[in-house]
Amino acid sequence: MKLAPELKSKIDTLWDRFWSGGMSNPLQSIEQMSYLIFMKRLEDMDVGEQNRARARGGAYTSVFEGHEECRWSSWKHYPAEQMLEHVRDKVFPFIKSLHNGEKTLFARQMRDAVFIIPKPSLLQEAVAIIDEMNITAQNRDTQGDIYEYLLSQLSTAGKNGQFRTPRHIIRMIVELVDPDITDRICDPACGTAGFLINSYEYILRKYSKQDELEIDQEGEYHNLQGHYIYDQKHWEKLWSDTFYGFDFDSTMTRISLMNLMLHGIKAPHIELKDTLSKRYTEEERYTVVLANPPFKGSIDKSDINDSLSLNTTKTGCSLSSG
């Protein structure tokens, strides 16, 4: 990926701090980092909308109204002990309570989220590093690359058959399927949302000026501007009615949602659900389905959707990937 060495260095340092701070589970670390990134982005987006409203001469109600102390800028310089207490007892419950608008989309997946950063010094160092990265101010390519680089630290294989499908495999599959701007795309075991993000980038690449595209040493395309998507309705569809994902792991739904948002997809649809269970009832809703389901694990035979039932207690299709 095309990421500046100084940003890679900051991310490496962030991982080192989490590891030395007692958080050796990379999936938990990514989840806690995502919460902090969301806290920073929430204020950045709020300020941006306030400025746009002011420029139009319109009114704007801040998401922080009545909770000014929860703004990233108000507590990022607190002493370590005070910061941990404030974030754990005030900021984190505040962001879990948000349920309105695009800015708070990530919060909707946080019903069972737990803030588990154990040490004040770790939180203070992590906040300083994320603040220095200034993710929201980066362009869309860089925002996505930052999070993908964070995710690259996850192990290739995980528990319950979870794993990150290699990016070059995803790119190959997406190119073979050839999704387009009119499609509605689903990954029923989305994991970190690799198939959905690559589909988005593939569509943008199709509609970008080919002579302005850049390709890095890993085969990833950059400067995906979508120059030939002229109709705003097509942009709105891409951002809010194209990408759908499901996973049975709440941690993965939060990670995939953050990943999609940082790649520029404003309102992705990510839902906590096992798509082989009786709770999943959708039919013929999507024009493209992309997935690399894992190949091990167990589920409750009595909960398998009747249309998919097999005479076995084992399956490899109800777990998460991507």
Residues 6+ apart with CB under 8 A from 241: 184
* The one-letter amino acid at 20: S
By the 10 Å C-beta count (0-12 exposed, 13-18 middle, 19+ buried), 72 is classed as: buried
What are 295-314's pLDDT values in tens digits? 666 666 676 777 766 565 55
Q: What's the confidence (pLDDT) of residue 100?
A: 59
Beta pairing partners, 304: 277
Structure-token pair, residue 263:
């790649």
CA geometry: angle 69, 72, 73, nearest 5 deg: 85
Q: What's the confidence (pLDDT) of residue 258?
A: 84
Query: Dihedrals φ, ψ of 159, to 5°?
Result: -70, 155
Strands 243-247 and 185-187: parallel
Q: What's the confidence (pLDDT) of residue 147?
A: 84
Which domains, ranges and CATH numbers included, belong to the chain?
5-141 (1.20.1260), 155-308 (3.40.50.150)
SS (H, E, C) the chain: CCCCHHHHHHHHHHHHHHHHCCCCCHHHHHHHHHHHHHHHHHHHHHHHHHHHHHHHCCCCCCCCCCCHHHCHHHHCCCCHHHHHHHHHHHHHHHHHCCCCCHHHCHHHHCCCCCCCCCCHHHHHHHHHHHHHHCHHHCCHHHHHHHHHHHHCCCCCECHHHCECCCHHHHHHHHHHHCCCCCCCEEECCCCCCHHHHHHHHHHHHHCCCHHHCEECCCCCEECCCCCCCCCHHHHHHHHHCCEEEEECCHHHHHHHHHHHHHCCCCCCEEEECCCCECCCCCCCCCCEECCCCCCCCECCHHHECHHHCCCCCECCCCCCCC
Question: Using CA atoms, how far apart are residues 27 and 230, in angstroms rounded to an integer?
Answer: 39
Q: What's the confidence (pLDDT) of residue 297?
A: 63
pTM above 0.75, yes or no: yes
Q: What's the confidence (pLDDT) of residue 259?
A: 87
Q: What's the confidence (pLDDT) of residue 73?
A: 96
CB atoms within 10 A of CB 179: 23
Per-residue pLDDT of the chain (322 residues; tens, 9 = 90+): 568 889 899 999 999 999 999 998 888 898 999 999 989 988 988 888 888 888 878 888 888 999 999 999 999 999 999 999 999 999 999 988 876 555 567 777 887 889 999 999 999 999 999 999 988 778 767 888 888 888 887 754 444 445 567 788 899 999 999 999 999 999 999 988 999 999 999 999 999 999 998 888 777 888 888 899 999 899 999 988 999 999 988 888 888 888 888 888 888 899 998 887 777 778 889 999 999 876 666 666 676 777 766 565 554 444 444 5
CB atoms within 10 A of CB 295: 12
* Cβ(296)–Cβ(316) below 8 Å: yes
Q: What's the confidence (pLDDT) of residue 309?
A: 61
CB atoms within 10 A of CB 67: 16
Q: What's the confidence (pLDDT) of residue 157?
A: 40
Beta pairing partners, 254: none
What are 30-79's pLDDT values in tens digits? 899 999 998 998 898 888 888 888 887 888 888 899 999 999 999 999 99
